[in-house]
Chains A and B, each alone.
Chain A
């Protein structure tokens, strides 16, 4: 099965691109206009704006997760497997954080008093992991409100882990960079799987675009059409303009937006 994979992202209005706290990772690494033949692993994460170092934690989570899923796709078959992937990222984070603090000291910018409580609490982010096998099946695991949508024959076949727009609030479940409670993480993780056919579309997105997507579906619209077109264009600028228009109309909240489109058409 051939798949085209594209990633589009735009930061929150009023922030800088460097302040974007969404992250997405795909393996294998391919250009959006080049098809890949074989398994595809994707991870999407949304750092919580009220936590410190949420962006770096989200990036580390997706990098660690896509590599873990690529090496062993079965980790997405059980909540305990997913939890162990997270714990590996937590281990990596300790090392990253020690280097970060040392770097701040070296730059003569030691940690300020108002940062310390946030560092003590840890960074927070959602995580959605997805694996497309080369034998017609897909698996996903999630914690939080980053969402996966499967579209077939011009209708929404599956929404995971959130199924309604109203369920997307400002207090999603989040992975903390200091949380080593494997049982707790496993108990809060959601799992999903299914099959796929030629022509299917998968969309993975963070909460702002997920909310927009589900709202459109609830109004009997077909949000995948415009997303498929934007994905085909493959231009970050065109995507940013479309997001700006949706924000201005009030249809999309002002937040970092990340979309990964896996096109089996």
Chain B
């Protein structure tokens, strides 16, 4: 069965995050939120890297089940890591975890146990900062990701298929991204085709959408293009999504509109999941 390869230190897979850093990312996300789209995607990347590191953490350190690249696209296309990882593409997860550019203290509200909320500080590692300038060379970014995936598969032909996650406001300025997206999905390990997922951040309004199975409810042409570029979620990921309360079908795609995508990390199986009794 496809998408069933073990993800382990001897058989790791890779994650390529593509981050839109174009000038349009300076705009606010819309709705009630004053946040800029660039801040939203930078936060999303930093949270995804945090979730991956915590998921793979053991007492001796973070295990290299994944190698991770963060590629920015705007005035240029290339590594978006800040700090000591700057300039690098795929980095073993243990190195990512041990080398954030900085660790910020952020205030968040948590339940106080008596029905209210209380402010507490939490450590927030940062690997990339928000950037917004120039055009949106999404086609070039997808081709860059494809070259990383192709090279990875030469060395890891039996791995769980590589995952490319594109975070964007959807407005490609270097052509139709459909063909380069298909180029990524055309690469395969013995366990299945590479996966392409998309997070669309937009000022277009409308309800947030998480893992839809049709493009009918999406607000604009950019959303529909990104939805159609996105891979269908493999069976096991879909099953786990269902257990987490997501509404899924055989056609559910790895696509999110103006919503949190960090949960995608939890869909990946690296062993017995730590779940509480209910």
Contact = CB atoms under 8 A, between A and B. Distances in A.
Interface of A: 13-15, 19, 46, 48-53, 112-118, 121, 124, 170-176, 179, 181, 184-185, 188, 207, 254-255
Contact of B277 (A113, A116, A184, A255): A184
Given A115-B59, A118-B54, A254-B6, A170 B269 contact: yes
Interface residues of B, number: 29
Nearest to B51: A117
A19 to B, nearest CB: 8
Given A114-B57, A115-B59, A176 B276 contact: yes
A49 B271 contact: yes
Interface in B9-57: 9-11, 50, 53-55, 57
B273 A171 contact: yes
A15 B274 CA distance: 19
A111 to B, nearest CB: 9
Given A15-B9, A50-B271, A207-B272, 20 more contacts: A14-B10, A46-B272, A48-B272, A48-B274, A49-B270, A53-B59, A112-B57, A113-B123, A114-B53, A117-B54, A124-B272, A170-B269, A172-B272, A174-B274, A175-B277, A176-B277, A179-B277, A185-B277, A188-B277, A254-B8
B62 interface: yes
A49 to B, nearest CB: 3
Given A118-B57, A254-B6, A174 B275 contact: yes
24 contacts: A13-B10, A14-B11, A15-B9, A46-B272, A48-B272, A48-B273, A49-B270, A49-B271, A50-B272, A50-B273, A50-B274, A52-B59, A113-B123, A115-B59, A118-B54, A170-B273, A171-B275, A172-B272, A174-B272, A174-B274, A176-B277, A181-B277, A184-B277, A255-B271
